[in-house]
Amino acid sequence: MIRAVLLDMDGTLTEPYIDWKGLRDEIGVPEGIPILEYINGLPEGRREEALRALEAREEDAARNAPPTEGAGELLKRLRSMGIRTALVTNSSRRCVEAVLERLGLSFDAVLSRDDGRIKPAPDLVKKAVVALGVRPEDALMVGDGIYDLEAARAAGVKFLLLRRPGYRLEYEASVGSLLEVLHWVV
pLDDT, tens only, 106-145: 999 999 999 999 999 999 999 999 999 999 999 999 999 9
Pick the closest to residue 88 from 123, 44, 47 (CA basis).
Answer: 123
Q: Are residues 48 and 139 in the same domain?
A: no
Pick the closest to residue 171 from 145, 139, 135, 136 (CA basis).
Answer: 145
Q: Are residues 70 and 111 in the same domain?
A: yes
Look up residue 114 and give its DSSP letter.
G
Coil, helix or strand at residue 185:
coil
Number of domains, the chain = 2
Range of the domain at 103: 4-15+66-184
Average pLDDT estimate for 5-33: 92
pTM of the model: 0.90
Q: Are residues 52 and 114 in the same domain?
A: no
Within the chain, residue ranges assigned H as helices are 20-27, 35-40, 44-64, 71-80, 93-103, 123-132, 146-155
Neighbours of 50 (CB within 10 A): 21
Apex 160 CA angle, 86 and 148, nearest 5 = 65
* Mean pLDDT score across all residues of the chain: 95
